[in-house]
Chains A and B, each alone.
Chain A
Amino acid sequence: MTRSGGVPRGVSDVVPGVVSGVVPGGRIPTEQANLDERLYGEQYAGGSDSVQYSWDLLRRAGATARELLVQAASEEWGVSGAECEARDGRVLHGPSGRSLGYGPLAVLTARGLSEEMPDAETLVATEPALKTPGEYRLIGRRTPSLDGAEVVTGRIRFGLDTRVEDMLVATVARCPVFGGRVQGFDAAAAEAVPGVRAVVEIDADAVEDFGPNNPKMANGVAVVAESTWAAMKGRDALRIDWDPGPGAAESTEGFWRECERLAGEPAQARIRDDGDFESAMTRAARRVEATYRVPYLAHTPMEPMNAVAHVTDGRCDVWAPCQNPGYVGTAAGKVTGLPPEAVHVHVVRSGGGFGRRFYADYAAEAVYLSRAVGAPVQVVWSREDDVRHGFYRPAGHHVLTAGLDPAGRPVAWRHFLANASRHAALGRGGDPREAGELDDFDFPAGLLPNLRFEYSQLDSVVPRGQWRAVEPSANVWVIQSFVDELAHAAGRDPLEYQLDLIGPPREVPFYSRTYSTGRLRRVFALAAEKAGWGRPRAPGAGVGIAGSYSNSSYVAHVVEVSAPADGRVRVERVVSAVDCGMVVNPSGAEAQVEGCIVYGLTAALYGEITIREGRAVQGNFDDYPALRIDEMPRVEVHFVESDLPPQGMGEPPLPSLLPAFTNALFDATGERVRELPVRGRGRA
């Protein structure tokens, strides 16, 4: 059973590697667990911690199983367990040459062959002997995806492929203005579409809140039909009067104006204040200041949001491709009024998530509609629904100020952020100290004596939420761009400047733990070495470097671009260095780096949701583009060899890719990118 929600890619491939790292050999099938947090604990997939979380648990599970199998074999043969070895799916008794497969041994174990044999709980409590890295057979080995054959033949079932007997299909017209509501509607034309069964208003305001961090669905009108196409046509035929509410006054221009105003006032909250920033600035030989802006970003996983629900008297089943089955269960309970034990959440495979499927709004719609029409209902979102009704990576206005000493080293640093935070949007309190998207431990916290982080928030109806490396995706871009600016201001090589700023190898406080500047230095140095940092560049070519520590992994990238004076910018090559502890499956880990590069480049080049009259302007891959295959750079991934426990890889490679790219653009063109995306601003 894999615990996390059904999104993390390669987690089901890591699990057998880790387990069989201790139970050697044999094929270990995995199965996605449905929601049962009493049994499994929290089941979300977020924060890149699936592997990290599971490492100890799975190794102990594997080791315990091995001891049980060896015990069973030794009992069967009447020999000492110490003379037996578990290997390649069998337990062997060397002296006699006897062996038994895990299958028959498992049967013996399950029958409780001997009363003297300890049960699993006792064995776990007695700390089974874990393998040492030298003994691993699958861990560290390149292992292809377990479900590849299902994927390439089209047999694999995603959420949208869920079929329940007598299931109807629904589409929902949601209020295009965030926070708006339905005033009235005319269903006649929709009802006239052949195959349309019902038109149902979704009055989300009348549904009890799902709780903090678990936002409700939008208000809207649903068309429930016998087929997807009929539901889509029916929705097009709806005539709805919307009450847009106060959100209609919001726009991207207004948002930036308000951020500017906040930047000109004393900050609402001081997140961190080390040393004496002000007096250090007065002593500084030189002052550098820059303003950066990051936009709202949608997730656009390839599979649009969808879910199936079947609500009957006293029972609710939900089939949801989700990252957070617990939230789906809570939402279904609130919508139906059913107790938790009557709600059954079936976790089905997701076609990507990236943080969008952390929320349960789309599943709540299916539950709402199934309850309303008394039949199983599949809710299908269009791509436009996905882009226009997301929970966006927060936009932000960052002002960075540094004071440099005569040698160009920073002696004072201030980072100010104004934005509408995701925490406030998700009902996690309005205190700007708590709500901020700037963290106490953002870089270069702990590395400089005089350092100040400040935050001011503004209100907005725009939904904000998780994203792939949500905060670092913005903050690391800003910070690592600014470090590059300082290096150039100081007339120093950016790599050398970075290493100088990071300082000697040591442990630096990071939340309740620490991080290692030595490991951070090493990934910078490794990426630079493998990329051939410092080589002369052709005219129009540029190289940039950036790195970060986030979600417990260390990553640095060197990006090479070409920016011909008359043509489009092209990313030619990315060299990545990663220290994520032990690499369980190199193929999967490299895939995560490649994925973060593509996701990060897409964001840097194209990603932007703009707001006009309280609604998202973009709608599909024509105006919210994604990187395509002909834009794919050459990628080289280098892992630092390590015996340390494995850490997450779904997010850590993303943040520093963006500044490595824009630093390379500066190197090529002399133009500093301080606003994303790159496209539409300058030559990209």
Chain B
Amino acid sequence: MQSFELTVNGRRHVVDVLPDTPLLWVLRDEIGLTGTKFGCGEGLCGSCTVLVDGEAIWSCVTPISEIGDAEVRTIEGLSSDGDHPVQRAWLAEDVPQCGYCQAGQIMAAAALLGREPDPTDREIDRAMRGNICRCGTYARIKRAVRRAAELAQEERA
């Protein structure tokens, strides 16, 4: 066991875990943030997507030892009261069905809009193709990402 200090959603945490423990299980089992989901354990489905210094990463294949001083952001910390443009757009398009993959989808979309405020359909496909949804909400996700881009532009204007 080893002690690690990390910043999640702006708060410092100290955890005592095996150094190869994936960030996913640190978030879920040690810090109690269960919004980030386990889907495949191999970086194949995107359910565990979180932001590390603004970049989308798969927390199920990222050991805690690689996080260092980076800022981790999870679905619980994307906004203070659920009003991030991506979250608002997701509600407006009535995206979720079972909802299990949606935290990962939302974090991947937030990362995309963070680096590309006005993505093309192709860019949306490329950024979101790592995230599987078995309920089949893809058409609504595409609409929601475009709507989120518009909402974010309105906010800036």
Report which A residues bind B (CB closer than 8 A).
7, 9-10, 142, 144-145, 147-149, 151-158, 160-161, 163, 169, 194-195, 227-230, 232-233, 300-304, 349-352, 354, 380, 382-383, 587, 591, 594-599, 602, 620-622, 626-630, 632, 634-635
Contact = CB atoms under 8 A, between A and B. Distances in A.
B55 interface: no
Contacts of B82: 149, 152-153
Given A152-B87, A620-B42, A628-B129, A597 B136 contact: yes
Given A230-B18, A302-B100, A383 B42 contact: yes
Nearest to A597: B136
A409 to B, nearest CB: 37
A152 B102 contact: yes
A302 B37 contact: yes
A628 B124 CA distance: 12
A587 B94 contact: yes
B135 A9 contact: yes
B4 interface: no
Contacts of A9: 97-98, 135
B41 A227 contact: no
Contacts of B42: 383, 620-622
B8 interface: no
B74 interface: yes
Interface string B60-75: 0000000000000011
A620 B47 CA distance: 14
B45 to A, nearest CB: 5
A351 B139 contact: no
Given A147-B99, A301-B134, A354-B134, 7 more contacts: A153-B82, A228-B29, A229-B22, A303-B100, A594-B140, A602-B134, A622-B42
A207 to B, nearest CB: 28
Nearest to B144: A152
B91 A144 contact: yes
B41 A629 contact: no
B83 to A, nearest CB: 10
A487 B34 CA distance: 54
B58 interface: no
A599 B100 contact: no
B94 A303 contact: no
A598 B138 contact: yes
Most central of B21, B44, B100, B124 by chain A CB within 10 Å: B100
Contacts of A152: 75, 82, 87, 90-91, 96, 102, 106
A304 B38 contact: yes
B28 interface: yes
B113 to A, nearest CB: 15
19 contacts: A144-B91, A147-B99, A151-B90, A152-B82, A152-B91, A152-B106, A154-B35, A154-B36, A160-B38, A300-B134, A303-B37, A303-B39, A303-B100, A349-B99, A383-B41, A598-B133, A621-B40, A621-B45, A632-B139
Contacts of A233: 18
Nearest to B128: A629
B157 interface: no
Please provide the 4 A-B residue pairs with the shortest distance between their CB atoms, ordered closest to farther: A154-B35, A351-B100, A598-B136, A154-B75
B25 A632 contact: no
Given A301-B98, A302-B39, A351-B100, A621 B132 contact: yes
Contacts of B140: 591, 594
B135 A352 contact: yes
Contacts of B33: 154
A383 B137 contact: no
B99 A151 contact: yes
A153 B87 contact: yes
Contacts of B34: 154, 157, 160-161, 163
A23 B75 CA distance: 36
Nearest to B33: A154
Contacts of B100: 158, 301-303, 351-352
A621 B5 CA distance: 33
Nearest to B86: A152
A161 B76 CA distance: 14
Contact of B136 (A144, A154, A301, A595): A595
Nearest to B132: A626
A620 B132 CA distance: 12
Contacts of A7: 98
A148 B90 contact: yes
Given A148-B96, A152-B87, A382-B41, A629 B138 contact: yes
B40 A620 contact: yes
Contact of B98 (A155, A229, A352, A622): A352
A594 B139 contact: yes
Contacts of B142: 629, 632
B97 A591 contact: yes
Contacts of A629: 124-125, 128-129, 131, 133, 138, 141-142
Most central of A195, A302, A303, A352 by chain B CB within 10 Å: A302
A201 to B, nearest CB: 24
A87 B42 CA distance: 53
Contacts of B36: 154
A9 B101 CA distance: 14
A621 B134 CA distance: 11
A154 B44 contact: no
B39 A304 contact: yes
Contacts of A380: 38
A302 B90 contact: no
A15 B30 CA distance: 37
A588 to B, nearest CB: 8
A634 B129 CA distance: 16
A153 B75 contact: yes
Contacts of B132: 302, 621, 626, 628
Nearest to A598: B136
Nearest to A351: B100
Contacts of B124: 629
Nearest to B100: A351
B134 A626 contact: yes
Interface in B90-119: 90-91, 94-103, 106
A301 B34 CA distance: 18
Given A229-B21, A302-B39, A352 B134 contact: yes
B17 interface: yes
A233 B126 CA distance: 33
Given A598-B136, A598-B138, A622-B42, A350 B98 contact: yes
Contacts of A142: 94
Given A352-B135, A594-B140, A629-B131, A145 B96 contact: yes
B23 to A, nearest CB: 11
Contacts of A626: 45, 132, 134
B134 to A, nearest CB: 5
B44 A621 contact: yes
B4 to A, nearest CB: 13
B97 A10 contact: yes
A302 B45 contact: yes
A422 B128 CA distance: 36
Contacts of A229: 17-18, 21-22, 25, 29
A383 B136 CA distance: 19
B25 A227 contact: yes
B123 to A, nearest CB: 11
A301 B45 CA distance: 11
A300 B76 CA distance: 26
A630 B129 contact: yes
A595 B37 contact: no
Contacts of A595: 97, 135-137
